[in-house]
């Protein structure tokens, strides 16, 4: 393997305390994969497997294996591994912003949340700090349970690696992955099966526009032992697909993260 870069997860982007939010961590590692296209247009599908809870505020060396996988490690052990996906992703069917907004009142995390400090869906995070994506159940797609919420990216989430075009600011790539993260867990029954992200595959068609209302939707895809399978999609204000994802979650005891 060869060394290429470092991955660091600032405490702001924590998930189950004291570890990094799985989606943000996965997106930050995915950003290190080589990509020739204009980053503000699209990013190909990448699969990231989380091997252990990502530490906070610790530089993790990233090495590249012979087959191109990018591996972030801590104390000599792999934390996350990213590689280009071997399949494409299908969007979860959309719901309107009004239905998604109404569903937020039924967000199970408002009653009880296993990880209230989570960057993506934590109820203890203030506006402008966490994403505060609070998905509640919406109309099923056939037999598929779905959950949805609205999300308006805050200016503090803007990416900082390029000049803005036409004064349009966009959320960063790791934040976009984070927005696609926990909505899947809540669609997969996070209230009764506390879980953490094991594997996430995401394709980013465009980065979300700062200050524009989006709709994020999660869908359950089944369970197998401790594993829960879900998908999610982020739509912009005009109903266009911004990004899509699939997840594998692992059921855990929240006390293990206290």
Structure tokens at 149: 């919420």
Could you tell me the pLDDT band of residue 15, with boundaries at 50, 70 and 90?
Answer: very high
pLDDT the model gives residue 35: 74
pLDDT single digits (tens) 104-132: 999 999 999 999 999 999 999 999 999 99
Question: What's the whole-model pTM score?
Answer: 0.95
pLDDT single digits (tens) 53-84: 999 999 999 999 999 999 999 999 999 999 99
Q: Is pLDDT of 162 > 70?
A: no
Share of the chain above pLDDT 90, in %: 84
Q: Is pLDDT of 135 > 60?
A: yes
pLDDT the model gives residue 7: 97
Structure tokens at 76: 């000599």
Q: Is pLDDT of 163 > 60?
A: no
How far apart are the C-alpha atoms of 234 and 3, rounded to whole Å? 33
Average pLDDT in the chain: 93
Could you tell me the pLDDT band of residue 1, with boundaries at 50, 70 and 90?
Answer: very low
pLDDT the model gives residue 160: 64
| 89-93, 111-115, 151-155, 157-161: the lowest-pLDDT one | 157-161
Q: What is the mean pLDDT of residues 187-193?
A: 95
Order across the sheet with 77-84: list the strands.
2-7, 60-64, 70-74, 77-84, 43-50, 195-204, 241-251, 227-235, 214-224, 144-151, 136-141
CATH number of 2-257: 3.10.129.10
How far apart are the C-alpha atoms of 53 and 19, rounded to whole Å? 6
| 85-89, 134-138, 254-258: the lowest-pLDDT one | 254-258
Exposed (0-12), middle (13-18) or buried (19+): which is 85, by Cβ within 10 Å?
Answer: middle
- CA-closest candidate to residue 190, choices 80, 112, 117, 125: 112
Break the chain into its structural domains and give their ranges: 2-257
Task: Report angle CA 84, 28, 190 to the nearest 5 degrees.
Answer: 90
């Amino acid at each position: 393997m060869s060394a290429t870069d470092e991955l660091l997860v600032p405490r702001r982007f924590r998930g189950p305390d004291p570890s990094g939010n799985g989606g943000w961590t996965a997106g930050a590692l995915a950003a290190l994969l080589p990509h020739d296209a204009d980053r503000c247009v699209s990013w190909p599908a990448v699969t990231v497997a989380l091997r252990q809870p990502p530490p906070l505020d610790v530089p993790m060396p990233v090495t590249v294996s012979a087959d191109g996988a990018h591996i972030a490690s801590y104390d000599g052990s792999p934390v996350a591994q990213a590689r280009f996906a071997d399949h494409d992703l299908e969007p979860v069917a959309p719901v309107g912003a009004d239905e998604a907004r109404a569903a937020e009142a039924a967000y199970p995390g408002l009653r009880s949340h296993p990880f209230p400090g989570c960057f993506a869906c934590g109820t203890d995070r203030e506006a402008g700090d966490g994403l505060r994506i609070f998905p509640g159940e919406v109309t099923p797609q056939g037999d598929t349970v779905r959950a949805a919420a609205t999300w308006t990216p805050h200016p503090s989430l803007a990416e900082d690696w390029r000049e803005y075009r036409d004064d349009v600011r966009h959320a960063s790539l790791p934040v976009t992955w984070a927005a696609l993260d926990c909505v899947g867990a809540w669609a997969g029954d996070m209230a009764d099966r506390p879980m953490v992200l094991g594997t996430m595959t995401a394709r980013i068609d465009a980065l979300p526009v700062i200050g524009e209302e989006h709709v994020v939707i999660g869908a359950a895809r089944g369970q197998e032992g401790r594993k829960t399978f879900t998908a999610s999609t982020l739509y912009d204000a005009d109903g266009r697909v911004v990004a899509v994802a699939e997840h594998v979650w692992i059921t855990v005891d929240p006390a293990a993260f206290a």
